[in-house]
Amino acid sequence: MPFVCGLALLFTGSNRLRRPLAGLGAAGVIAGALALACPGLPGSVAQLPVSPEAVHRGMLAVEVAISLYLLVVSVRARLPLVGALVLAQAALLLPLELGGAHPAAEVSRYLVLDQLSALLALIIGVIGGLVCLYAIDYMQEFHVTHHPEMRDGRRAFFAILFVFLGAMFGLVFSNVLTWIYFFWEITTLCSFWLIGYKGTEESQRNARRALVMNLTGGLAFAGAIFALAHGGGPLELDRLVAAKPALALLPVALLAFAGLTKSAQLPFSSWLLGAMVAPTPVSALLHSSTMVNAGVYLILRVAPVLQGTAAGLLVALVGGLTFLLTSLAAITASDAKKVLAYSTIANLGLIVLCGGIGTHEAVWAGVLLIVFHAIAKGLLFLCVGVVEHKLHSRNIDDMTGLVLKMPRVSVMLQIGMAGMFLAPFGMLISKYAVLRAVLDSMPLLAVVIVFGSAATLFFWIKWMGVLLVVTQPHANVEKEIGVCKWSALYALSALTFGTCMLFPLLSAHLVEPYVKAQYHLAQFTALGEGNLILMVIMLGLVSLFPLSFLNYGRNVKVADPYLGGANARSGVQFTGSLGDDRDMSMQNYYLSSMLPESKMMSAGVILAGLLLAALLLKVVVP
Amino acid sequence: MSGLQKSPWVIHYDASSCNGCDIEVLACLTPGFDVERFGIINTGNPKHADIFLVTGSVNERNREVVRNIYDQMPEPKAVVALGICACTGGIFRECYNVAGGIDAVIPVDVYVPGCAVRPEAIIDGVVRALGILEVRRAALAADSAAADTMLIQRATAADLPEILAVQKVAFQSEAEIYGDTSLPALRQSLADITADFQRMLVLKGVVNGKIVASIRGYDDGQGTAHLQRLCVLPYFRGRRLGLRLIQAIEKEFPKARRFEIFTGHRSHTNLHIYGKLGYTTFKTEPYTANIQRVYMEKSAP
Amino acid sequence: MSPWWRLLIYLVGAPLLGGLLAGIDRKLSARMQARIGPPLLQPFYDVAKLLSKERMVVRRSQSFYIVFFFLFTVFTGALFFCGSDLLMVFFALTLSGIFFVLGAYKASSPYSFIGASRELIQMMAYEPAVLLTAVGLYMVTHTFSVHVIAAQPTMPVLLLPGVFAALMYAMEIKFRKSPFDLATSHHAHQELVRGITTEFSGPVLALIEVAHWYENVMLLGWIFLFFSVHWAVGLACTAAAFFLLLVVDNVCARVKWQFALRSAWQITLIFGCGNILVLWLLEVFGILNLNP
Beta-bridge mates of residue A174: A111
**Predicted confidence band at A13 (pLDDT cuts at 50, 70, 90)?**
very low
Residues A415-422: what's their mean pLDDT? 79
Distance from CA of A455 to the nearest CA of C (A): 6
pLDDT value of residue B233: 83
- How many residue contacts between B and C have a Cβ separation below 8 Å? 91
**Residue A532 domain flag:** yes
Residue A558: list chain B partners with CB under 8 A: 172-173, 175-176, 234
- Asked if the Cβ–Cβ distance from C58 to A559 is below 8 Å, we say yes
Question: Which of the four pLDDT bands, split at 50, 70 and 90, describes residue A526?
Answer: low
A552–C60: do the CB atoms touch at under 8 Å? yes
Report the pLDDT averaged over residues A409-413. 85
- What is the pLDDT, as a whole number, of residue C240? 94
Neighbours of chain C (3+ CB pairs under 8 A): A, B
What is the per-residue pLDDT across A67-124, written as a single tens digit (0 to 9) for each? 777 777 777 766 667 777 777 777 776 666 655 444 444 455 566 667 777 788 778 8
pLDDT at A614: 85
Q: Do residue C135 and residue A594 have CB atoms under 8 angstroms apart?
A: no
| % of residues, chain A, pLDDT over 70 | 77
Pairing mode, if any, of strands A573-575 and A581-583?
antiparallel
pLDDT of residue A12: 47
Looking at per-residue confidence, does A115 or A342 come out higher? A342
| Residue A39, pLDDT score | 47
CB contact under 8 A, C120 and A530: no
Tell whether A290 is covered by a domain.
yes
Question: Does any domain span residue A14?
Answer: yes
C108 at B interface, C-beta within 8 A: no
Q: Are B119 and B31 in contact (CB under 8 A)?
A: no
Q: Alpha-carbon Rg of chain A, whole angstroms? A: 25
Position A105 scores a pLDDT of: 47
Asked if A148 is an interface residue toward chain B (Cβ–Cβ < 8 A), one would say no
Regions of chain C where pLDDT drops below 50: none
Q: Examine residue A572 and state whether it is found in any structural domain, yes or no.
A: no
Query: According to the model, what pLDDT value does residue C218 have?
Result: 93
Contact status of A555 with chain B (Cβ, < 8 Å): yes
Q: Which residues of B touch C190 (CB under 8 A)?
A: 43-45
Cα–Cα distance, B213 to B231 (Å, whole number): 5
Q: Please report the pLDDT score of residue C126 as a whole number.
A: 92
| Residue A423 pLDDT > 60 | no
Q: How many whole angstroms separate alpha carbon C81 and alpha carbon A330?
A: 36
Cβ within 8 Å, pair B65-A566? yes
What are the two backbone dihedrals, phi and then psi, of residue A414, each rounded to the nearest 5 degrees?
-70, -40
User: Would the CB atoms of A556 and C106 count as touching at under 8 Å?
Assistant: no
Task: Enumerate the residues of chain A whose CB falls inside 8 A of the CB of residue C75.
Answer: 538, 541
pLDDT at C267: 93
Q: In C, which residues are within 8 Å of B36 by CB distance?
A: 26, 30, 35, 37-38, 187-188
Q: Measured in whole angstroms, how far is the alpha carbon of residue C65 from the centre of its chain?
A: 19
Higher model confidence: residue A470 or residue B65?
B65
DSSP-based three-state secondary structure for B300: coil
Three-state SS letters, A469-529:
CCCCCCCCCHHHCCHHHHHHHHHHHHHHHHHHHCHHHHHHHHHHHHHHHHHCCCCCCCCCH
**pLDDT per residue as tens digits for the range A225-248:** 887 777 766 667 776 777 666 667
Q: Which residues of chain A are within 8 Å of residue B292 when distances are taken between CB atoms?
A: none
Smallest Cβ distance to C63: which of A471, A553, A560?
Answer: A553
How much is the pLDDT for C12?
92
A567 in a structural domain: no
Task: State the helix-helix crossing angle for A426-441 and A336-357, rounded to 10 degrees.
Answer: 40
Mean pLDDT of all residues in A175-179: 78
Q: C237 in helix, strand or coil?
A: helix
Question: What is the number of structural domains in chain A?
Answer: 1
* Residues of A with Cβ-Cβ distance to C100 under 8 angstroms: none
A420-440: average pLDDT: 75
A545:C68 CB<8 A: yes
Is A565 inside a domain boundary?
Answer: no
* C190: closest CA of chain A, how far (Å): 13
**Which residues of chain B have a CB within 8 Å of the CB of C204?**
none
- Which of B182, B159, B143, B204 shows the shortest CA–CA distance to A555? B143
Whether the CB of A560 is below 8 Å from some CB of chain B: the reply is: yes
User: DSSP readout, A169-203?
Assistant: HHHHHB-BHHHHHHHHHHHHHHHHHHHGGG--HHH
- Pick from C45, C188, C198: which is nearest to B47 by CB? C198
Between CA A331 and CA A327 the distance in angstroms is: 7
How far apart, in Å, are the Cα atoms of A450 and each of A424, A443, A457, C222?
A: 18, 11, 11, 18
ipTM, two decimals: 0.90
Give a yes or no: residue A253 inside a domain.
yes
Using alpha carbons, list the distances in angstroms from residue A355 to A125, A179, A348, A349, A512.
Answer: 24, 22, 10, 10, 16
Q: Does the pLDDT value for residue A156 go beyond 50?
A: yes
Flag whether A434 is in a domain. Answer: yes
Instruction: Pick from B2, B7, B10, B233 the residue to mutate for testing the C interface (most C CBs within 10 Å).
Output: B7
Instruction: State whether residue B140 sits within 8 Å of chain A by CB.
Output: no
Residues A92 and A80 sit within 8 Å (Cβ to Cβ): no
Point out the residues of chain B with pLDDT beneath 50.
Answer: 1
CA gap B258, B301 in Å, rounded: 9
Residue A1 has pLDDT above 60, yes or no: no
Chain B residues whose CB is inside 8 A of the A564 CB are 65
Asked if A578 has any chain B CB less than 8 Å from its own CB, the reply is no
Q: Identify all chain B residues contacting A565, using CB atoms and an 8 Å cutoff.
A: 13, 46, 64-66, 68-69, 72
Averaged over A141-152, what is the pLDDT?
Answer: 73
* A neighbour chains, 3+ CB pairs within 8 Å: B, C
* Chain A / chain C CB contacts < 8 angstroms: 174
What is the pLDDT at residue B296?
Answer: 86
d(CA C127, CA C241): 20
Percent helix, strand, coil in chain A, to 5, is 75, 0, 25
Comparing CA positions, the residue from C87, C130, C166, C226 lying closest to residue A436 is C87
Residue A447 with chain C: CB contacts under 8 Å: 132, 269, 273, 276
Rg (CA), chain C: 19
Contact across the interface for C56 and B34, Cβ inside 8 Å: no
Whole-angstrom distance, CA of residue A506 vs CA of residue A524: 14
Per-residue pLDDT for A498 more than 60?
yes
Q: Select from A555, A569, A571 the Cβ nearest to the Cβ of B234.
A: A555
B296 — phi, psi (to 5°)? Answer: -125, 150
Q: A6-20, A576-590, C159-173: which has the minimum mean pLDDT?
A: A6-20
Q: Is A405 helix (H, G, I), strand (E, B) or coil?
A: helix
The overall average pLDDT reported for chain A is: 76
> Who among A545, A557, A594 is closest to C56 (CB)?
A557
Total beta-carbon pairs less than 8 A apart between chain A and chain B: 60
All residues of chain C having their beta carbon less than 8 Å from the beta carbon of residue A556 are: 55-57, 60, 63
Residue A45 has pLDDT above 70, yes or no: no
Interface contact A453-C127, CB threshold 8 A: yes
Domain range enclosing A133: 2-41+51-545+587-620
Q: What pLDDT is recorded for position A109?
A: 59
Element (H, E) at B100: strand B98-100
Chain B contacts to C (CB-CB under 8 A): 2-4, 6-9, 29, 31, 34, 36-39, 41-45, 47-48, 50, 72, 74-76, 137, 140-141, 176, 235
